A and B are shown apart, each in its own frame.
Chain A
């Protein structure tokens, strides 16, 4: 067995927690020695229960480890260990660095800025649009977008980055060969091509609730800054923020109206000192040396619009508005308004995000 296969063996015992794996490593000095050691030697480790030892015993089958390791290649999954040179440098510096990383696609570039864009799964249309547009603009400036490939904000952030043809990385709470949640399957496929899917769990590991807080430490660890788009008062996103603070990352948040329960989490961390973000530049200015400078002034000008289109465009904002309300404000009959909206939409000024709801489109 090769050295890497021994590492693979240790990383793929999914029932063992990070702490126990670290204890094994420090006790036996390398996975290879641990693999070859007698069962009794493990019982000297106090942290391990009898059940754990039984599991370790069951997993110590040379043929099946080799077989599974060979399968990684056919699944298109790469494996790097903490000893390898390709291992993301930023992850080495965090508490409880993952011992190995399974990934599809590629890993974030060594130099270059990565921003985590995170938020609620059950988000509003507004939040989704914000995440998408921030990710899109950041990606255009050459920033890698990291998130958790979950429903809601996460998915929108990845989607935005892909729209700008930028790099985007999703950190999973399950094996890299499992797409969870399934509705993001299209994103998952696209990200394997442009960006990467990362996880510390071996292929075949099912998503478990307790995997996700651990996954969050990787999201924050790999990024240079964390942008919270929409989060409730008690939200999983705030776990990521806590990790980020421990790891010394910049925290950004998009403010919401007080009383909007979807933004309570964001507003709270703003009060605690996170940086308020209303446009992409608020983030970029902190990293401007390493980023491609974005040229301001590609903002939409409405010179290309006809008079009536201008009236309708002026009624719209980032917050979704129903056709009825636009009609009331702009004072157009529905028939005429519908065609004006269609024209604006084809000129990419606005976007219909759900049936009969419109927002302004950015860039």
Chain B
């Protein structure tokens, strides 16, 4: 007898419906799987056969054929175990076809018949909802992840017996419900706060500006000056995630299997800090069966690259294109995958090999050594970093000062206001933030007055700026004005922006 069950497969962070067809007919007793399968899927044969047996179903000595369609799409992962088992049960008449109406199944089976957790539940359930399915059966361990999608019933099943009992209306099972309000209010507090940091006013201010306009930022300073501490606190000043943003991040984490403990949604801005030995694939995503990389895992959050010059040059250079386009496209033989990567890059580095330049009482690096160290970062990459500052060592007095430090919450309020200015300004454009302004847009959105024009010209000549540096200063000045909710860029905005200018080549040569 022939039967048909629906399941889903992840492709990038989106997913597609996969139909699992089973047929039982006379012939030699074989259990056959077809449909362009990866080896994990092929191994499902043994898992399904034995888990059915251990759940109390006896497979007859007949020819069982399973087909996963569309047959031209490569299928990976263990989530097809459950739909295959259900399809077999329907073919054998243990379940009726009616009971599976508008249902979609995903889950891995253990030999005992238990249903185990799989990756990518959220994007599949979301796709099921969009495709008009009414019910989704997922592993109990993933149920909260799937239940985030509203408008579809998501059931978490512990094992095959329970699932079959429910489908036969013998055992009751409640769909998991999470209210949208519950999701919205359930923001987890951050463990860190900007009020923990003493001094470093310049760095705090620069981070505030960077976070407001999503500018990439570079911190240069000796070891122990608090660069990492500062970077870790950047997510705490970014505005809270909207439900849609949260869903988008959760999808990526779901595909990567990083939603742990039956977590339903990622509610905090991601902060990713990969070690400098990271490979290019791990950073950008990829692999034979593409998975999201660190840049996608920090989508809508912060990617922190500590010891920036120590990263493999090739690895770092790959960042250039995604930083520009806010997504990464990976093409493999089996298909093209798109992962979002709209992130704020925060890089940190020492000023020289020993880390203490320009403190000559500690640093004996020659100027050519210092130059060599700084030169490890390529110009095109520096061109994508709008703000760069020196973070000096904090002195002892500062450490013991019991001062009133501004909390992340109050900084966040200012940033929100600054961002609202940007949203309003760019509502008719396909950009959101000042950092994304193209040079063409600059002329219309960053118009300067006569006096400001003069200051810019003076700066351009006196500081030997390049055209790119000039544009970066304008963008940052725009953000500073936005923070003050000013429509026009004033002289003080420009002069402050100049202070954060990225290191121009000529500037580095002054050593």
Contacts and interface: CB of A to CB of B under 8 A. Distances in A.
Contacts of A260: 361
A123 interface: yes
A269 interface: no
Given A124-B360, A262-B360, A355 B388 contact: yes
A339 B495 contact: yes
B389 interface: yes
Contact of B390 (A123, A333, A342, A354): A354
Interface residues of B, number: 35
B366 interface: yes
A151 B361 CA distance: 18
A324 B392 contact: yes
B200 A338 contact: no
Nearest to B492: A339
A342 B361 CA distance: 29
A246 interface: no
A287 interface: no
B503 A355 contact: yes
A78 interface: no
Contacts of A353: 510
A261 interface: yes
A320 B510 CA distance: 15
Contact of B496 (A127, A181, A324, A339): A339
Contacts of A356: 202, 389-390, 499
B175 interface: no
Contacts of A334: 201-202, 205, 496
Given A122-B365, A324-B200, A343 B390 contact: no
Interface in A309-336: 320, 322-325, 327-328, 333-336
Contacts of B507: 355
Contacts of A212: none
A324 B445 CA distance: 31
Given A324-B200, A339-B491, A342-B495, A122 B390 contact: no
A183 B368 contact: yes
A327 B205 CA distance: 12
Interface residues on A, range: 35 or more
B496 A338 contact: yes
A324 B499 contact: no
B371 interface: yes
A357 B221 CA distance: 13
B220 interface: yes
Contacts of A354: 358, 390, 510
Interface in A109-138: 121-125, 127
Given A262-B361, A327-B202, A354-B358, A335 B492 contact: yes
A346 interface: yes
Contacts of A346: 455, 458, 462
Interface of A: 121-125, 127, 151-152, 181, 183, 260-262, 320, 322-325, 327-328, 333-336, 338-339, 341-343, 345-346, 353-357
Given A324-B200, A328-B199, 20 more contacts: A122-B360, A122-B363, A122-B366, A124-B360, A152-B367, A262-B361, A327-B201, A335-B205, A335-B492, A338-B492, A338-B496, A342-B459, A342-B499, A343-B495, A353-B510, A354-B390, A355-B389, A356-B389, A356-B499, A357-B390
The 5 closest A-B pairs by CB, nearest first: A342-B495, A339-B495, A338-B496, A339-B492, A124-B360
24 contacts: A122-B363, A127-B360, A151-B366, A183-B371, A261-B361, A322-B392, A323-B202, A323-B499, A324-B199, A324-B392, A327-B202, A335-B492, A338-B496, A339-B491, A339-B496, A341-B499, A342-B459, A342-B496, A345-B462, A346-B455, A354-B358, A355-B390, A356-B202, A356-B389
